[in-house]
Amino acid sequence: MSEDRREYLPHSTRCFICGDENECGVRTRFYVEDGAVRTRVVLSRHLNGYKDVAHGGVLAALMDESMGWAATVFGRKHPMYVTGELTVKYLAPVSVGEEIEIVSRLENDAGRVAYSTGEILCGGTVRVRARGKFLPMSEEATRQVIPYLKFDLCRKYGTLFGRSGPDR
């Protein structure tokens, strides 16, 4: 799918992963394609753990964010979710300065908990795998988060939380 046809998800200004104004963060945008939440990003050198290798905590945060969005987008009622449990398996180092792809899917929405999986790929090779349990936020807690989200570039998902449209 071409970039101009991607179905982008909301983001925020200060989030470490998706915050477009967070100079210390990753600054990526997630989108939905082929039944998965995805992004492609080149991690900056300031995100390394040691020479030219991405910090494992940054990789876990990417998994956390993308799998949480998978639960939100593909779950039964589209409430926002918080992470209840996150298991990350590091299969091979992930280099900074190279493009990586993050792909996450909802495996099951059991109502009180949603189960998501995700992978980080580099050059088509899986470098990181993760599984997580995500708990739905209450309607009140979700309402408190929505004002902090930005919906630019959101077409389909501009109404994800019952909003009137992408321009709000």
pLDDT in tens, 99-156: 999 999 999 999 899 999 999 999 999 999 999 999 999 989 988 988 889 898 888 8
The structure's pTM equals: 0.91
Burial 111-141 (b: 16+ CB within 10 A, else e): eebbbbbbbbbbeeeebbebbbbbebbeeee
DSSP 8-state secondary structure symbol assigned to residue 32: E
Predicted confidence (pLDDT) per residue in 32-47, tens digit? 999 999 999 999 999 9
